[in-house]
Structure 1
Amino acid sequence: MYSYDWDPETGGFLLKSSPLKFSKEPRPVYYKELDILGFDKYWNYEKKDDFPYMWAESNNYIYRGRRVAKTKGGTVYTAPELILFEEPEPNDEPLRFVDIPAMVAKNQKIIDALAQDTIKKIYNTYIEYNNKVDVFYVAFSGGKDSVVTLDLVQRALPHNKFKVLFGDTGMESPDTYKEIKSIEQDCKDIKVEFLKAKSCLSPAQSWNVFGPPAVTIRWCCSVHKSAPQILLLREYTQNPNVRGMAFTGIRGDESLSRSEYDELNDGKKVRGQFSFHPILEWNSAELFTYIYQRKLRLNEAYKKGNSRVGCLVCPMSSGKHEYMKAVCYPKEVNGLLDKIKSTSGKINFTKDQMNKFVDEGLWKTRKTGRELNFGSDSHLIEVKNGKTVIIVRNLNDRWKEWAKTIGDFVELTPNDFSISFKEKIYSVHLQTEKTGIKITFPQCGNGKDDIKFISLFRSVVIKSIYCVRCGVCEANCTANCIDMSNGLKISNSCIHCYQCHDIYEHCLRYNSIRNRIGGERQMKGLDRYFSFGVRKRWIELYFQDRGSREFWDSDGHGEVANKKKDAFLNFIKDAGLVTFNRLHGDNKYTRNEANEFAKMLFNLGSDSDLTWALMLCNLAYTPEFNWFIKNVPFNENITQDRLKYMLNEAMENDTKGLGKRNVSDALKIILVTTPLGESIGLGDCDYTKKVNASGNETITLHSFHRRKWLSPDPNVILYSLYKFAENCGNYYQFTLSRLLNFNVDSNGVSPAEIFCLDHDTMEKILTGLSINHPEFITTQFTLDLDTITLNPEKTSVDVFKLF
C-alpha cells in the first residue's frame, strides 16, 4: 500500500504516505540464511537471531540502504551463485543488526493508521455478514500473513465470535508445525477456539494414487485443504449447508493472480463459502513492521531464508526457494522428491538423469497419467453408429450408488437398469465380454438431454472405478447426500443438483492419472515454421509489397530466402492472409493470393497490435500456435528446455529431438522479434541478442512467461468469438463460464485462453460490445447467470467491417 525508502540510520526502512506502485516485497534476513548461502565465508557477523542483519528484495541483499550482494539461480539440488558488490562494513568489521525498535518507532504513525483502517473493515464485514453466515474463522497457515490477520481479527471481534482453522496438508515444515502448536496455545490463552482440518489421506497415500501434483494438475489444494476444511465445518456446526466467512491472509503483492483478487469473495471459488482478505493491499514492508511492532510470533522458516511457508514441495515453487527448503528440511523434502521419482514413468532413467529431471522441475509439467508409471485408463468410451458404448475393465458395484445422483435408479435384472433424467426413462444394459463389461444405452438418442445424460453416466463410471474417497465430491455436495465415512452411500433423498459431477474430468484422481484413451491428441505439423519462425521485419516487407509477386520474386528483398521462404508461406497461410489461386501465379508462392483479410491488415499496418492480434485469432487454429495456447500455462517461467520437454507428448515420434528443437527455436524467434510476444502477451522474454562480425544475429532465450494482453481490443475479441462459434459447429449461444473453462475438449478456442483474459476483463469487454455492436452480440449478466448470444446471421468476415 505505502511506498518506502531505505533508512541507513536504523538499517531498516521508512514508510511514506505515497502509494507504492510496485512492491519488491522486502523481507528481513537473519544469520541462518546468510550461513546457508555461504556469506559467512566473506562477511563477519555474530550468530544470533534476535534481530535481522539486513533485508532482501527478491534476490538482492540490502544493508543499511546499499545493495551489497545478490544471488543468481539455484535449484533444489544446486545452491544459488553468490555475487558480492561491496563490503557491508569496512575492514571486515562485524555486521550491525537492524535497529528494529527504532525502525518501528519511526513508522508507528503509519502502521497504526493502517491497522485501525483494517480493523474497521474486519468489524464492518462481521456486522454485514453476521446474519448471513454460520461461522467466522481465520484461515491460518502458520505464515506471516495469517499471523498478522489473526492478530487484526482478534483486535476487531469478540473472541467468542470467530474460530481459527488450520488446514493441515501434512506437507508443512517442522518449523510450521512448531508455530502451529504455539499459536494453538496462544488461542487457548485468549479463549479463541482452534480447529484443525486434515484429509483422510496422508501425503504418502495421495501422491501414490494421484501421482505428484503439477502446474496444471493441482489436485492437492482440493484434497488436502479445501475439502477437509468444508467437511470439518459441517461436522463442527452440525450443518450440511454451513456457510462460513474466512478471514484470510491473502495479499495482492504475493503474485500476479492474487493481485486481481477482490477484497471480498462471495463464494465462487469454494461453493457456499465466503472469504474476506483484510490485508489484500498490504505489502511485506508494512507486514513485517506490524509483526515487530506487536511482537508477534515469526515462523522460524523465515529466519532460515524461506520467503514463504506452505507445502515443502510444490509445483508452483521454483529456483532458490526450492533450494532453501531442501537445505532446511532435507528429510521431509527428500521424502516427497522420492515420491516424484518412484511414481515417474521415466523408468529407464539413470539416477543422474532422474535427479536432473527433478532438479530442472520437469515433473511439474505433467498433464496426464502417461508420465506416471501407474497411470492408466480402466475404461474406454466409443461412439458406434451414433450410439455411445462404454467398456469397463473391472466394473464394481459403486456405480449403482453413483447412478442415484443422476435420477431415480431401478435395477430391473442383474444386467438391465433404468434411470430417470429430465422426464425421460433411460435404459442401461450391461454385457460381459472378453475386454470387460460393455455398457450400452438402447433408448438414448443424440438430443441435448441425451448428451447430458451420457456425460453424467460417464461421470458415474469414472467415479466408481477411480474413487479413493478423497472427500472432494462429498464436500461439493451441499445437500449432504454423500457419505464416505464407511465406503460409499448416496442418500435416497439426493436432489440431483449434479454438483458432485462438477469436477475436472468428473474425478480429480482420474484427471491426474488418465492415460492415452480420451487423453491428449497427437498433433502433426507442429514444425511448420522449421527453426526460423517468422520475424516482424518479414511481415513489414510483405505488407510493403501488399503481398505482390515482387515480394516472392525478390526473396523478400533478400531477407526471406530458401527455407525461410517456405516457413513464411506457412505462417501467412496459417494467419489467414492468403487464398490459393492456381490462375494467379506460376509457382507455389505466387499462387497464394493476398485475400480481403490481408488487405484489411495492409491498411492497419505491421506496427499495429491489432494486426498481430487478429492474425493470432486465426493462428490459434493451426498446429504450432494451438499447441502453444493449449499447453503453455499463464504466468509461469518457461525455459526452452522446459518447452522441449512439454513437446514430448505431442511429438512422441520425434525420437532424435530435431522436431522439438525446431519448434522451440521457431517460437523463440516469434516471441522475441514480433509483437505476438511482449505486446500481445504470448511471451514476455528474458533474452540476449548478439550480432557477429558477419552480421548474423544470434538470440539466446533465457526464459519467458505468458501474460494477459494488457490492452485488449473489443473488436478483436468479437472476431475471436465468431471464430470460436464457427469452429464449435455454429455454437452461437454460450456462457462466460464456458469461455473461461479451458479444460473442455473443443474445436473452438476461447479468446480468454488466447489472450489470457480473466473473468472481469472479459465481462467488461462483452458488456461494451453488446452496447456498441448489438447487431453482432447481446449479453446478459445477472447474479450467477450469464448468457452470450452472437447473431447467427453474421460471420467472422462481417466483423472485418468494424476495423
Structure 2
Amino acid sequence: MYSYTYDKETGGILLNSSSLQLSNEPRPVYYQELDILGFDRYWLYKKDDSAPYMWAENNNYYYKGRLVAQTKGGSPLIAPEIILKDAPEANGVYLSQVNISLMVEKNRDIMEKLSQETIKKIYNIYHEYQNKVDLFYVAFSGGKDSVLVLDLVKRALPHNAFKVLFGDTQMEFSDTYNIVNAVEHDCLEDGIEFIRSMSTMSPKETWRKFGPPAQKIRWCCSVHKTTPQILKLRQLLEKADFRGMAFTGIRAQESASRAEYDDISLGEKVRGQFSCHPILEWNSAELFLYTYAHELHFNEAYKKGNSRAGCLVCPLAGYKNMWFKEQSYSHAQDENFTTMLYNNIIKETSSKSFSSRDEEEEYVNIAGWKARRSGRELNFSKDQMFDVENNGILKVTIISPKTDWHEWMKTVGKYSLVDDTHFNIEWDGIIYPVTITQHEETLEFDLRVGNTKSEIQLKKSFKIALRKSAYCIGCQVCEANCPHGFIRMRNGSVSIDDRCYKCKKCHNIDYGCLLANSIKLPKKINKMGSINRYANLGVEYDWVKQYFKHQDNFWTSHELGTNKVKSLRAFLNDATLMEKNKFSRFACIVDSLGIENSIAWALILCNLAYSSEFNWWINHIEFDTVYTTDKIKELLLDENDTAKTHISSAFKNILISNPILGKEVGLGYCDFIVKNDKRYLNSVQRIAWSEPDAKVILYSLYKFAEACGEYYQFTLTRLMDTTIESDGVSPVQIFGLDRETMVGLLKGLATNYPEFISVTFTLDLDNINLRQDKTAADILDLF
C-alpha cells in the first residue's frame, strides 16, 4: 500500500506516505539463510536469530539499502550461485543486525493508521454480513499472512464471534506445526475456538494413487485442503448448505492472479463461501513491520530462506525455493514430514526407467514431474473407462468399477430399473433406454441417444457418472461439492440420497473425477508429428517479410540456404500462408492487413496453434512465468538432447526476431543480449495480448469448434479451463485472456456479428453458440 525505502540508520525499512504501485516483496534475511547459501565464506556475522541482518527482494540482497549480493539459478539439488556485488562491511567487521525497535518506532504512525483502517474494515464487514452467514472464521495456515490476519481479527471482533480453522494438508513444514500449536494454545487462552481439519487419506496414499500433483493437475489442494475444511465446518454446524465468511491472508502483491481479487468474494477460494481479504492491499514491508511491532509468532521457515510456508513439495514452487526446502526439510525424525518422502514417491511412480541413482537424482533435480499433463508419465496408469459412439448409440465400458454405478446414476437423472440388463433414464422429460452387458471384469452400457444440444449434455453427464464409478476411491471432493449433503463417502463406498436434485455440482470437477483426470492416458500422442519442426534455426521475421514482398516469386529470388528454406516452408505451411507451394488465400488476407500488423500476426498464431511446435509451446509455457533456456528444455520430457536444443533455439530466434509476435501478441517477451552478432537468451515470458481484436477471437473460436469435431455450442467456463485435454485450442490458451476480457469481447461480437455468434451471460449461464452453417474461413471475409 505504502512505498518504502531502506533505512541506513536501522538497517530496516522505512515507509512513506506515497502509494506503492509495484512491490518487490522485501523479506528479512536471518543468519540461517546466509549460512545455507554459503555467505559465511565471505562475511562475518553472529549466529543470532533475534533479528535479521539484511533484506532480500527476489534474488537481490540488500544491507542498509545497498545491493551487496545476488543469487543466480539453483534447482532442488543444486545450490544457487552467489554473485558478490559490494562488501557489506569492511574486512574483519561483523555485520550489524537490523535495529527492530527503532525501525518499528520510525514507522509507528503510518503503521498505526494502516492497522486501524484494516481493523475498521474487518469490523464493518462483520456487521454487514452478520445476518448473511452462518459463521466467521480465520483461514489459518501458519504462514506470516494468516498470523497477521488473525491478530487483526482478534483486535476487531469479540473472541466468541469467530473461529480459527487450520486446514492441515499433512504436508506442512515441521516449523509450521510449531506455529500452529502455539497459536492453538493462544486461542485456548483467549477463548477462541481453534479447529483442525484434514483428509481421511494420507498424502503417502494419495500421491501413490493420483500420482504426484503437477502444475496443470493440482488435485492436492482439493483433496487435502478445501474438501476437509468444508466437511469439518458442516460437521461443526450440523448444516450441509452452510454459508461461511473466511478471513484470509491473501495479498495482491503475491501473484498476478491474486491481484485480480476483490476485498470480498463469493466462491473465489471455496465454492459457495464468502472470503474476505482484509490485507489484500498490504505489501510485505508493511506485513513484517506489523509482525515485529506486535511481536507475533514468526515461522522459523522464513529464517531458513523460504519465502512462503506451504507444502513440503509443491508443483508451483520455484527452483530456488525447492532448494531451500531440501536444505531444511529433507531429513526429519518423522519421515512423513520430509521432502525425501515425496521425492521418493516421484521416482517410484515415474514411467521413466532409471539405470542408476544419479539418473534418479537428476530427474528430481530438473523437477520435470511438475509439467505432467496426463497419466502417461506414471508407471501405474491405465484407462478404467472407454467410450465410443456409433449409429446413435453411446457405448461406455468400465473395467472393475470401484464404486456402485447405481448410486452415481442418481446424479444424472431419474432412472428406473427394468431388469438386470436394462434401465431407463429420464432427461428433459424424455425417457432414454440403456442396456447393460456384464462380462467377467467389465460392464458395458449402451445408451441410445441423439445429438441435440440437450442430448449432448446427457451424454456428458452419463459418461461422468460412469467415470466416477470406474475410478472413485472416496477422496470426498464430490461429497464436499454437493451443496445439499446428499453424497456420503465412507470406507470405500458411496451412497447418494434419492432426493438428489441433479444440480451437477459433483460433476463440476476436472474430467468429472480428480483421480481419473490425474491418471488418464492421452487418446492421441504426437498427433501432429514431431515438435522439432524448424530445427535450431527457427524462422526469422525478415524471411517472412521477404516472402510477402515477393510472394510466389520469392522461391526464385531468395538467397537463403537449404536448411533455412526447409524451416521457412514448414512454417508457412503450418501457418497456412502457403498452399501447394503458392501464396494462399489466407496469406492474401494477412497481406491486406500488413505483415507488420499485430492483428495479422495474431491471426497467424491462431493457425500455428494447430501445428506441432507452436502447439507444444502454447500448452506448456505458462503465462506470466519466466523461463530460461534450461527450464524450457526441462519441459521437453520426451525429446532427446539434440531436439531440446533445437526447439529452444528455434523459439529464441522466432521470438527475438519478431517482437510483434513475441511482445505485442504476447507469445514470448524476450530478455536477451547480442554478442558477436549472436543472440543469447536470458529468459522469455509469455504475456497476455494487451489489445485483443474481437474478430481474431471469433476466428479462433471457429477454429476451436472445428477442431473439436464441430463442437459449436460450449461455455466460457470450458474455454477458461486450460487443463482439459482437447484437439481444439482455446483463445484463452493462445492469448492469455482473463474472464472479464473474454466476456467483453464475446458480448461485443454477439452485438456486432449476430450472424456468427450469440452468447448468454445470465445467472450461472455462460453459453456460447456459433452458427453451424459458418466456418473459420468465413470469418476471414470480415477482415
Q: TM-score by structure 2 length?
A: 0.93
1:312 matched to 2:316: no
1:192 matched to 2:163: no
| Partner of residue 265, structure 1 | 265
Deviations 1:290-315 (A, max 9, x none): 11112211111111211110101101
Alignment of 1:510-589 (within 5 A): 510-516=516-522, 518=523, 522-545=527-550, 547-549=551-553, 551-555=554-558, 558=559, 560-580=560-580, 588=581
Deviations 1:249-282 (A, max 9, x none): 1111111222222222122553211111111111
SS in 2 for 1:287: helix
Deviations 1:82-110 (A, max 9, x none): 22122211232111111111111211222
1:425 matched to 2:405: no
SS in 1 for 2:175: helix
Pair 1:708–1:489, CA change in 2 (3 A): same
| Partner of residue 341, structure 2 | 335
| Partner of residue 480, structure 1 | 485
SS in 2 for 1:392: strand
| Partner of residue 584, structure 1 | none
| Partner of residue 623, structure 1 | 612
**Deviation (angstroms), 1:638:** 3.8
SS in 2 for 1:464: helix
Pair 1:17–1:713, CA change in 2 (3 A): farther
| Partner of residue 323, structure 1 | 323
One-letter amino acid matched to 1:708: A
One-letter amino acid matched to 1:131: N
SS in 1 for 2:661: coil
1:469 matched to 2:474: yes
Of 419-428 and 32-41, deviating more is: 419-428
| Partner of residue 140, structure 1 | 140
**Deviation (angstroms), 1:644:** 4.7
For 1:412 and 1:97, how far apart are their aligned partners in 2? 79
**Deviation (angstroms), 1:633:** 3.0
For 1:416 and 1:771, how far apart are their aligned partners in 2? 48
Alpha-carbon contact 1:28-1:55 (below 8 Å) kept: yes
| Partner of residue 509, structure 2 | 503
One-letter amino acid matched to 1:338: N
For 1:689 and 1:12, how far apart are their aligned partners in 2? 38
Pair 1:454–1:610, CA change in 2 (3 A): closer
Pair 1:321–1:746, CA change in 2 (3 A): closer
Pair 1:606–1:132, CA change in 2 (3 A): same
For 1:466 and 1:722, how far apart are their aligned partners in 2? 34
| Partner of residue 684, structure 1 | 669
Alignment of 1:82-97 (within 5 A): 82-97=82-97
| Partner of residue 601, structure 1 | 590
Alpha-carbon contact 1:543-1:605 (below 8 Å) kept: no
**Deviation (angstroms), 1:3:** 1.3
Pair 1:174–1:397, CA change in 2 (3 A): closer
SS in 2 for 1:92: coil
Deviations 1:102-145 (A, max 9, x none): 11121122212222222222222222222221111111111111
SS in 2 for 1:82: strand
SS in 2 for 1:441: strand
One-letter amino acid matched to 1:618: N
1:154 matched to 2:154: yes
Alpha-carbon contact 1:347-1:373 (below 8 Å) kept: no
Of 225-234 and 497-506, deviating more is: 497-506
**Deviation (angstroms), 1:647:** 4.4
Deviations 1:28-48 (A, max 9, x none): 111111111111222111211
Of 84-93 and 204-213, deviating more is: 84-93
SS in 2 for 1:138: strand
1:18 matched to 2:23: no
| Partner of residue 367, structure 1 | 373
The counterpart of 2:393, out of the listed 379, 387, 390, is 387
SS in 1 for 2:241: coil
1:671 matched to 2:655: yes
The counterpart of 1:753, out of the listed 733, 756, 761, is 733
Alignment of 1:691-770 (within 5 A): 691=676, 697-728=677-708, 732-770=712-750
**Deviation (angstroms), 1:508:** 0.6
One-letter amino acid matched to 2:339: V
Of 269-278 and 377-386, deviating more is: 377-386
Alpha-carbon contact 2:629-2:683 (below 8 Å) kept: yes
Of 166-175 and 621-630, deviating more is: 621-630
Alpha-carbon contact 1:136-1:162 (below 8 Å) kept: yes
| Partner of residue 440, structure 1 | 445
Alpha-carbon contact 2:426-2:432 (below 8 Å) kept: yes
For 2:583 and 2:773, how far apart are their aligned partners in 1? 28
Of 417-426 and 348-357, deviating more is: 417-426
For 1:55 and 1:733, how far apart are their aligned partners in 2? 53
SS in 1 for 2:67: strand
**Deviation (angstroms), 1:717:** 2.3
One-letter amino acid matched to 1:477: C
| Partner of residue 583, structure 1 | none
Q: State the Cα RMSD in Å.
A: 2.5
Of 359-368 and 665-674, deviating more is: 665-674
One-letter amino acid matched to 2:485: N
Of 173-182 and 364-373, deviating more is: 364-373
The counterpart of 2:766, out of the listed 786, 798, 803, is 786
Of 309-318 and 631-640, deviating more is: 631-640
The counterpart of 2:622, out of the listed 629, 633, 636, is 633
For 2:438 and 2:633, how far apart are their aligned partners in 1? 44
| Partner of residue 694, structure 1 | none
One-letter amino acid matched to 1:668: K
For 1:452 and 1:55, how far apart are their aligned partners in 2? 55
Of 254-263 and 237-246, deviating more is: 254-263
Of 451-460 and 282-291, deviating more is: 451-460
For 1:778 and 1:392, how far apart are their aligned partners in 2? 37
Alpha-carbon contact 1:428-1:439 (below 8 Å) kept: no
Pair 1:732–1:453, CA change in 2 (3 A): closer
| Partner of residue 99, structure 2 | 99
For 1:463 and 1:335, how far apart are their aligned partners in 2? 29
For 1:363 and 1:624, how far apart are their aligned partners in 2? 21
| Partner of residue 335, structure 2 | none
Of 307-316 and 742-751, deviating more is: 742-751
For 2:87 and 2:607, how far apart are their aligned partners in 1? 56
For 1:368 and 1:780, how far apart are their aligned partners in 2? 32
SS in 2 for 1:678: helix
Alpha-carbon contact 1:426-1:441 (below 8 Å) kept: no
Alpha-carbon contact 2:388-2:394 (below 8 Å) kept: yes
SS in 2 for 1:43: coil
SS in 2 for 1:215: coil
Of 232-241 and 465-474, deviating more is: 465-474
SS in 1 for 2:729: coil
Deviations 1:329-382 (A, max 9, x none): 122111111111111112334211111111111111111112112111123223
**Deviation (angstroms), 1:210:** 0.8
**Deviation (angstroms), 1:498:** 1.6
Alpha-carbon contact 2:213-2:219 (below 8 Å) kept: yes
Q: TM-score by structure 1 length?
A: 0.91
For 1:519 and 1:460, how far apart are their aligned partners in 2? 24
1:282 matched to 2:273: no
1:614 matched to 2:603: yes
Alpha-carbon contact 1:536-1:606 (below 8 Å) kept: no
Count residues in correspondence: 775
For 1:185 and 1:467, how far apart are their aligned partners in 2? 38
For structure 2, the residue ranges without an aligned partner over 5 or more in a row are: 332-337
1:455 matched to 2:460: yes
